[in-house]
């Protein structure tokens, strides 16, 4: 690592300390909207068992998403987002 990049990293860490200790507010905040698994499933007209089988997850995992105990991550989150916007495309692709 070159010296300039190292100094940028050090500066960033020093700026982050007060934010982590709640002594200073972050200059920007990112929020992530999580797809609503239950509304996606209902939009597709599937039972929990059918939907879980379709997307390759367990019914229990789906129930945890729908009840808000857990959030879908990674590819599951991406698939739910696509299904939310293009339900027929997902049904066609996964039933093929």
SS3 content of the chain, % helix, strand, coil (to 5): 65, 0, 35
Instruction: Identify the CATH number of the domain defined by range 37-95.
Output: 1.10.260
Instruction: Provide the whole-model pTM.
Output: 0.65
CA 54 to chain centre: 19
The full set of domain ranges for the chain reads 37-95
User: 14: pLDDT confidence band, cut at 50, 70 and 90?
Assistant: confident
SS3 state at 22: coil
Closest alpha carbon to 44 in 18, 53, 27: 53
Specify the residue for token string 């209902």: 42
CA nearest neighbour of 28 among 38, 46, 16? 16
Per residue in 31-86, pLDDT tens?
767 899 999 999 999 999 999 999 999 999 999 999 999 999 999 999 999 999 99
Q: Do residues 44 and 90 lie in contact, with contact meaning Cβ atoms separated by under 8 Å? A: yes
96: confidence class by pLDDT, cuts 50, 70, 90: low
């Amino acid at each position: 690592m070159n010296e300039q990049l190292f100094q940028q990293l050090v500066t960033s860490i020093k700026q982050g300390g007060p934010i982590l200790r709640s002594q200073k507010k972050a200059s920007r905040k990112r929020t992530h909207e999580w797809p609503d698994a239950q509304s996606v499933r209902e939009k597709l007209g599937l039972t929990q068992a059918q939907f879980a089988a379709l997307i390759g997850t367990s019914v229990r995992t789906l129930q945890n998403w729908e009840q808000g105990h857990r959030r879908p991550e990674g590819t599951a989150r991406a698939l739910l987002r696509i299904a939310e916007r293009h339900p027929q495309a997902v049904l066609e692709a996964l039933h093929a």
